[in-house]
Amino acid sequence: MNPPIAEILAAYVCLLFCLSVHEAAHAWASDRAGDPTARLLGRVTLNPLPHIDPFGTVLFPLIMMFANLPVFGWARPVPFNPQNLRNKRWGPVAVALAGPLSHLAQLVVLILGARVAFLILHPDLRTLVDSPWITLLWMLVQLNLILMLFNLIPVPPLDGHHVLYAFLPPRGQHVMERIGPFGILIAILIMRYGMGQPLAFLGKLAAFLLFEGVGS
């Protein structure tokens, strides 16, 4: 059974928000680390328009929607000049980690905010199950978990590759540069066939932190 169009649109809006936070975090971290390139290009913003990638933010999510698959995508990478960073080795790592950490921060805010709301409102389980706000909350939780794991995959151009790159010898760095053109495809395959169990575990953990003891 296909999900309602309203649910699909809500998921897409959630995706745009999560991607905008992710890219704005990169731009902010790059500026703080010494390179103002992204800030000067207007990328330190939650407005999704400067971050849109025609394929990753528009076409690919539409394909996922019409295929009745979870809405997923990526934004246009934030440009930065490593030569401008104050720390040439670890600066790129800090800029890269800002993206996944932005999803972790969103998860913390979502879970804490929901628990405070539950504490004040004392909802019962039936109210939670039927609430569109809970549906929206869980969409944001799932998207942030998926995007955090996806971006930590250590293949270019994803954030995880900058972290791994800093620890590799020159030969390993050369190999990573050569697989760059195939990076997104490799990452999607890893996400599809290798991240199921970690994602399921983190989803159960998030559900426990959100709903344990609510309505009892």
Tell me the pTM: 0.91
Instruction: Say which residue, 103 or 70, is predicted with more confidence.
Output: 103
Q: Residue 171: CB partners within 8 Å, gap ≥ 6?
A: none
> Is 74 a residue whose pLDDT tops 80?
yes
Gap between the Cα atoms of 3 and 170, Å rounded:
48
Confidence of residue 2 (pLDDT cuts 50, 70, 90): low
Report, as an integer, the average pLDDT of 92-111.
97
Mean pLDDT of the chain: 90
Domain count, the chain: 1
| Domain span holding position 59 | 5-211
Examine residue 216 and state whether it is found in any structural domain, yes or no: no
Give the integer Cα–Cα distance in Å for 80 and 38: 6
Residue 17 lies inside a defined structural domain of this protein:
yes
- Domain membership of residue 160 (yes or no) is yes
Over residues 40-54, mean pLDDT: 96
How far is the C-alpha of 214 from the C-alpha of 105, rounded, in Å?
Answer: 23
pLDDT surpasses 90 at 4? no
Q: Which amino acid is at 214?
A: V
In total, the chain counts a number of residues equal to 216
The C-alpha atoms of residue 44 and residue 6 are separated, in whole angstroms, by: 29
Q: Per the domain annotation, does 91 fall within a domain?
A: yes
DSSP secondary structure letter of residue 195: S
Across the range 12-30, mean pLDDT stands at 96
* Torsion sign across C-alpha atoms 104, 107, 108, 109: positive
Read off the tokens for 38: 């992204």
Q: What is the pLDDT of residues 137-148, one digit of tens each?
A: 999 999 999 999
